A and B are shown apart, each in its own frame.
Chain A
């Protein structure tokens, strides 16, 4: 007999080795997430996928599915927690959507739309962050980095390059690149790298492509991130 968990009362089958996120996505159940992509080792840092497992909060992307687990996902309490987390992500960086070329294709924005986030709630932090436009084809706008480490994992696991890493802790945490100068142009980054295309926000961008699709016709302008995520990401599960 196959093993199952329940998510909001719905019975979901899983195989040994799958996380709650794996099982949920395979069954067409969306759990909000930003730092998780099925092709990469789960990181569990953004905490948006927080679910209640047998009464305790856990990150669905890192927590192994086990037979008989009762998982709560779409409760008002969890939705409110996720909205607060997203608001913190917004105020901790400088996320000014009207001036960002990723707007409409941005997963941070799309998750906020999905949660019907209408304000930032917290006082704006306006941290001082730099832009690295040194590379001829790829730019980093640190204002928009949420430290999800997807670029770190993509560069290491797919590109075999280790261009990116996270340095510092707490308020001093920041994305660094593998060059003595600290500049992207002095790394072996290429625009064709997986890491150049994985950023869920507008922190890593390919130059001269940002407005090829007009604002208003972009991915999340008309489709919710749950539909997009289930349609594109769950295919990659089990790879």
Chain B
């Protein structure tokens, strides 16, 4: 048990779709957990990273908390992986980058159709939004990229088995998709 490969995962400005796709490896998960132990992850509910071998990051960076979590992962993971379109290029959340933040908030919480009790959330517990959504490689060094929206279960499987078995990870043509 002591020699298991430690893997942490998180979703920043993502939709958890990449995590759902990861779970689509289905029964192969049983093979995986024989050699892998999950650290911080929505799968374990562990709140903070300890020393890990692999960190999988879904989603781009849209608020201050995302920046802190991303740095925590970088500080604790030997290999950090950008998983999915949003982590790689900001993805669909980055479509707000052309709209001033105030306009976004007004539309969502004050002027939008069907808004009740209009007010812009200002609880001190809420992380502050950044003016723009950023890909994660703009904040920390990233070692590998798994494109896709989401990357298919086979992409996760190919990448992780390559790493675990000591090969340089690579994705053949049929596993590379941006959609």
Contact = CB atoms under 8 A, between A and B. Distances in A.
A113 to B, nearest CB: 5
Interface string B143-179: 0111101000000000000000000001101101111
A99 B93 CA distance: 11
A124 B134 contact: yes
A118 B142 CA distance: 12
A96 B85 contact: yes
Interface residues on B, range: 20 to 34
Contact of B149 (A97, A123, A124): A97
For the complex, would chain B's binding face be called helix, strand, loop or mixed by DSSP majority? Answer: mixed
B41 interface: no
Interface residues on A, range: 20 to 34
A104 B90 CA distance: 20
A96 B94 contact: yes
A121 B141 CA distance: 11
Nearest to A109: B178
A98 B94 CA distance: 12
A238 to B, nearest CB: 30
A99 B95 contact: yes
Contacts of B145: 118-119
Contacts of A124: 89-90, 94, 134-135, 138
A128 B176 contact: no
B132 interface: yes
Contacts of B95: 94, 96, 99
A91 B147 CA distance: 15
Contact of B138 (A97, A112, A123, A128): A123
A126 interface: yes
Contact of B178 (A112, A114, A128, A224): A112
A116 interface: yes
A97 B178 contact: yes
Nearest to B93: A96
Contact of B89 (A96, A100, A128): A96
16 contacts: A90-B89, A94-B94, A96-B95, A97-B178, A98-B149, A114-B173, A116-B171, A116-B173, A116-B176, A119-B137, A119-B145, A124-B89, A126-B90, A126-B97, A222-B174, A224-B173
Given A94-B95, A99-B95, A120-B89, 12 more contacts: A90-B89, A95-B89, A96-B85, A96-B95, A99-B92, A103-B179, A118-B88, A118-B145, A118-B147, A118-B176, A126-B97, A215-B179
Interface of A: 90-91, 94-100, 103-104, 109, 112-114, 116, 118-121, 123-124, 126, 128, 215, 221-222, 224
Across chains A and B, which 4 residue pairs bring their CB atoms closest together, nearest first?
A: A97-B178, A98-B149, A119-B145, A103-B179
